[in-house]
Every structure is written in C-alpha cells, then in structure tokens.
Amino acid sequence: MSQNGNTGKDGRKRVLVVGAGAAGMSTAYHLSNHPEKFDVTIIDSVDYCGGQAFSIPLDKERHGASWFNQGVQGGSYIFHHTLTMFARQGYHADPVKLQVSFGKADKFWTNVFPTDFIAKHQAEVRRLAFMLKFMRWFEVLFALLPLKVVFKLFLFSDEFTNVVGLPMTALFLGTGNATPEVPAIMLERLCTSPTYGMWYPADKNSVVSNLPPMVVFPNFTDFYTAWKKDLESRGVTVRLSTELTEVVHRNKRGVFVKTKPRTPVEDGHNPVGGDPDAIESEEHYDEIVLCVLADTAKKILGKTSSWRERRVLGSAKFSDDITITHNDSDYMKKYYENFYDEGKAVKTLGKNGDMDHSSRLAFAKDNFRPMYYIRMYDGDLSKLEMCFDTTNYQSQFPQKVPFEQHVFQTIYLNKGRDRKHWTDNEIDKDKIIRADWWHQLCHSWTHYVFVVPWMMFLQAKKRTRFAASWTLVNAHEIAIMSGIAAAVDMGADYPEDLEHDKFALLCFRLYYLLAYGKWYRRKFKDSKSQKAKDGASWALGLYGSVYQGPGVSTTERSVWREEVKAGRSTENLADGNNGRSQP
C-alpha cells in the first residue's frame, strides 16, 4: 500500500473535499479564494464533475439540439448563488414560464387553463385555499405534519388529495412517492410565500392559474468542465476516477483516509464495489468535507463514526428511481395530456359559475406546451410517475419541433416498494436514448425531525464537515450554499458581491444558522467597491428575491440562438404556430 504525502509544511491547511458535485465544487472554489490558507484536493469516483448534473449527447438533426441536461434541469429566480456561479464561469440560465400537465382524461388538470376535473371539485378547490391560509396563520402547529394527515384533517377526498395536493408538492421538490409523508409546510409555503412560492398566489377557483417564472440551466457538462479548469488554475488538485474507500481515523493528528483509482465507464455510473483489485493509497489531511449522500458518508466514516453521526446520517431515507430518456410519443399520448383539448376545458368557474376564464382558454389553444407531467397510477392514485418534455422545457431546443421528435424523460419512483406500478416496459426500446438509476432523498417529515436540526451538532466535529443538498432540501441551490457554508466555517470569506445581494445573504445566513448553529457576521458591510455595487443590483423584487444579475438572460431560448450559431442546434424543425407541441 502506497503512502501519499503528509500535512503541508507551508502552514496551509490541507483539505480533502469528497465529491465533485455542486456542493464539493462550491466548497473547493470558495476555499481556493484563499490560496495562502488552504491546500485543497477534491476527488470523485466518477470521471466527470457535476454529480447528478450533467449533459447527454443527442442526434441534432432529429431532435433539433445536440445535447440535453440530465438529472438537474432548472430552478427558480431565488437561486442567487447558483446563478452567480454560472456567471462566474461565463454561463447563464434562460427564463421560462412553467406549464404543467397533471393526470389523464377525467383526472386531468393544468395551471394553464381550467378543466372538467377542477370544475367537478370546486368545493374542495375553495377549501384548499382556506386550508392554506389557515395553515399560514397557525404554521407552527402544521409545519411538520405529513401532507396526508393534513388533507385528512380538512376532509378532502382521496381523489382530490392524490390528483391535486400531492402533485403540486412533488413538482417543485422532486419528492416523488414520498410526497404523502412530506411536511405540510412545504405545500403551504409553495402557495403562500410571495418570494419562493411557486404557486403564489393560490387561486380559490382553479387551484393555480399562474405560469411560474422559472429558469432553465445551461449545458451542465460544459459548465462543470469550465469550473474544473478554473479550480485547477487556482491551485486546486482535482482527482477524478478516485474513490475514498475508508476513513482510517480522525484525531488531533489529522484525518487519515484510504483511496483507490476507479476505471471510468461509458455511462459515468461506476458500479458499487468495482475495481476490487485496485491498489489503495493512504493519505493525510487536516480537514475533510464529505459532499456525498448521507448513507454514503455513514459508510465511509465506518468505525471512526460517532454514535451521533450514525444516528443522524442513518435517519436519512432514500429510494432507488430510474429516469428513462426517450422519444416515444405514443407512450406520452397514452398516459399524459400533451395538447389542448377543448372537450376537457371549461370557460367558467366559481361558486355560482360566474368566473369567466375564456381568455385562458384562448391562450391555451395555441400556447399549451406542457413541460412537466405527473401521472397517477390507476391502481393507487397516491403513487406517481413523473415526466419532463425536455424539448418544451430546455432552452437549447428550437421553438418548433414536431411532437414525434421531442425528447422526454420519464421517471419511475421507489423501485423497492412501487415497482409493481411501473409501465417502463411499454416504452419502445428502439426509442430509448438512455436510462439512469438514481439514489434519491425522500423528503419525509422524519428528515426534518431526525436529520436537519441535528446537523449543527455534527459539523466541524472530528475535523469533518458535511455539505450536500440533503442537509436541507434537494435543490442545486442548497448544494451550492452548503459548500460555501463549509468553506466559510473553515475560515474562507463569503463572497463580497453576494454579501451585498440582500436575498442571497439572508438565505445564506439562515442556512448557516440551521446547519452550523452560527449567525454569519458580515465582513464587507461598509464596502463601496464595484463588487458590492454589482451584488446589490442583482436583488430585485420583494426582499430582493428575484435575481437580475448576469447569471440569467432576459430572453427565452437565448441559448438556442447561441447554439445555432455554434452549430450545436438547428433552426426550427416545423412550420406554423403549433409546430412545437400541438398534434
């Protein structure tokens, strides 16, 4: 077994960052702002940076684009840290107004226009608006109650709960089939918060009637490759295809670990237990940041883990899901509502049927282009299947592409429990582009009782910190913030421009307080520098929540126009106003 170096003799703190996803890259980047303090090494067992966020090649001539993003596709204008990092690497997100399609046939509803299902459940729609308002008033009483319990308390039917309540929550957080166990505060805030409420304000006649302003991300493989090069230029050692197999001990002398090389595989998903004969190396660091899933962190720490670490990390629950990327339009037509259907639309709603929605129907007739779908299984409406129409959603695709040439991603959830509901075998195998398995966090109420509030008691103990989205909620923005928090806790600066972005600062302070039990004290409060002025200009809207910096463009599908010039996307593949998503 080889020996790989000792603690640096130049006085710098040697830091090992495990995991080159959003959290790990963020940790390494912000530590690298202080090359005089930190000697940073970042490793990952796969041969690329980005973790679950990466891009996949496509047949440009057939689909209109030469790539699409897998794993992570878009987010919100409140993602100030993510959007700022895009800008730092020369990239930007594009705006998009989100359209959804939930259910099928007589259970179909959407945020774009009212349907028969919404008309049928008008009494429950009004009750939902009241419930959300009531929960806002008495939030402390309802915060951690599971959604399924709250809907029962307010006497909602199972059909309304499963077709309306659960999908509304599952959409934004990707909670999938764990949604019945999700804390009720998540749905309440999605509908009542004027800053990050995706469905704000709730509509007492049609549940939701807004088109949430969202952002769709740039080519993630390009972005993370550029970020990797930037880290290396700053003196960070980036070692891919390197697996941390064991933490030998963590004590006053430092952190001793074992690593081994991994053989890259074509799809990037290294098999567990692969390369069993690879030679291990021992390495010595002063600090370690584990930017991996909670159950992976627990396994890595092994015999060095404390009782508290085993208890907290072991309380995080995960499910195994599969995403099948395909262009089987027949499957989509069979199980989802993809087009405007006048026969399913209604013009009036309200208690007395006097609320006219004809303008929404007129808009939908030519502009209904669903981006996100949820299907409820007939055998159990509480079990969901999720899907993206990436052609409608991602901004590198042309505006007009025949539906038969769209690229879809269908997500089948919780293999261990719900495999019996899956219909993945019905997708035409000749139209499957790729299949990816994921080990996904379940946002159960137990996560917010037994994991999140206890993280502050694990951080910085035994020279170890944890940075990942699972420390709060599964979002790219949380991963980026968690990395900054780990770096700041070791002595790095929170960026000056973000400190003057009042919403970014507020979010970071709250996260740092929750994850580390500390309140971040400003270092650049009185700065009049250009960085400070830039950061202050990014925060617009209520509480500065709407990011308006260089990390997001002002034009939808501006990436498409850039990609056409670069030869990586085509011009429109269909003629006429309805070419993109109408039959």
- DSSP 8-state symbol, 111: S
Q: What is the pLDDT of residue 4?
A: 43
List residues bridging with 287 in a β-sheet. Answer: 15
Q: 49: exposed, middle or buried (C-beta count within 10 Å: 0-12, 13-18, 19+)?
A: buried
SS3 label, residue 20: coil
Into which CATH architecture does domain 2-47+240-317+445-492 fall? 3-Layer(bba) Sandwich (3.50)
What gap in Å lies between CA 249 and CA 251, rounded to an integer? 6
SS3 label, residue 570: coil
Whether residue 401 contacts residue 63, with contact meaning beta carbons closer than 8 Å, is answered with: yes
φ, ψ (nearest 5 deg) of residue 425: -70, -10
What gap in Å lies between CA 478 and CA 23, rounded to an integer? 8
SS3 label, residue 342: helix
Q: Which two tokens stand for residue 395?
A: 């901004």
Q: 515: exposed, middle or buried (C-beta count within 10 Å: 0-12, 13-18, 19+)?
A: buried
What gap in Å lies between CA 227 and CA 443, rounded to an integer? 30
| Contact partners, residue 137, CB within 8 Å, separation at least 6 | none
Please choose, from the candidates 131, 341, 95, 330, the residue with its C-alpha nearest in 3D space to the C-alpha of residue 213: 95
What gap in Å lies between CA 297 and CA 305, rounded to an integer? 9
Q: What is the pLDDT of residue 6?
A: 44
Determine how β-strand 67-70 pairs with β-strand 355-356.
unpaired
What gap in Å lies between CA 202 and CA 214, rounded to an integer? 17
What gap in Å lies between CA 94 and CA 81, rounded to an integer? 16
Whether residue 372 contacts residue 100, with contact meaning beta carbons closer than 8 Å, is answered with: yes
Q: What is the pLDDT of residue 579?
A: 47
Q: How many CB atoms lie within 10 A of CB 543?
A: 13
List residues bridging with 254 in a β-sheet. Answer: 251
Determine how β-strand 100-102 pairs with β-strand 372-377.
parallel
- Digit-by-digit pLDDT tens for the chain (583 residues) are 333 444 566 889 999 999 999 999 999 999 999 999 999 999 999 999 999 999 999 999 999 999 999 988 999 999 999 999 999 999 999 999 999 999 999 999 999 999 999 999 999 999 999 999 999 999 999 999 999 999 999 999 999 999 999 999 987 767 778 899 999 999 999 999 999 889 999 999 999 999 999 999 999 999 999 999 999 999 999 999 999 999 999 999 999 999 999 999 887 777 788 888 899 999 999 999 999 999 999 999 999 999 999 999 999 999 999 999 999 999 999 999 999 999 999 999 988 888 999 999 999 998 999 999 999 999 999 999 999 999 999 999 999 999 999 999 999 999 999 999 999 999 999 999 999 999 988 889 999 999 999 999 999 999 999 999 999 999 999 999 999 999 999 999 999 999 999 999 999 999 999 999 999 999 999 999 999 999 999 999 999 999 999 999 999 999 999 999 999 999 999 886 554 545 5
List residues bridging with 3 in a β-sheet. Answer: 282
The domain spans of the chain are 2-47+240-317+445-492, 60-217+318-441, 494-538
Q: Which two tokens stand for residue 28?
A: 């390494």
DSSP 363-423: HHHHH----EEEEEETTEEEEEEEEEEHHHHSTTS-S---GGG--EEEEE--HHHHGGG--
pTM of the model: 0.95
Whether residue 115 contacts residue 345, with contact meaning beta carbons closer than 8 Å, is answered with: yes
Angle between helices 184-192 and 122-137 in degrees, nearest 10: 100
Q: 403: exposed, middle or buried (C-beta count within 10 Å: 0-12, 13-18, 19+)?
A: buried
HEC secondary structure over 458-483? CCCECCEEECCHHHCCCCHHHHHHHH
Q: Which two tokens stand for residue 495?
A: 């960026």
Q: What is the pLDDT of residue 185?
A: 94
| Contact partners, residue 409, CB within 8 Å, separation at least 6 | 70, 323, 324, 325, 326, 387, 388, 390
Q: How many CB atoms lie within 10 A of CB 561?
A: 15
Q: What is the pLDDT of residue 9?
A: 67
Whether residue 499 contacts residue 523, with contact meaning beta carbons closer than 8 Å, is answered with: yes
| Contact partners, residue 173, CB within 8 Å, separation at least 6 | 182, 186, 443, 473, 474, 475
DSSP 139-169: HHHHTTSBHHHHHHHTT--HHHIIIIIHHHH
What gap in Å lies between CA 143 and CA 161, rounded to an integer? 18
Looking at 257-317, list the stretches that DSSP marks H as alpha helix, in order from N- to C-terminal side. Answer: 294-301, 307-313
The DSSP H or E segment spanning 324 is strand 318-326
**Cis peptide upstream of residue 201 (ω within 30 degrees of 0):** yes
Q: Which two tokens stand for residue 381?
A: 């409406």
Q: Which two tokens stand for residue 209?
A: 């009637």
Q: What is the pLDDT of residue 166?
A: 93
What gap in Å lies between CA 380 and CA 74, rounded to an integer? 29
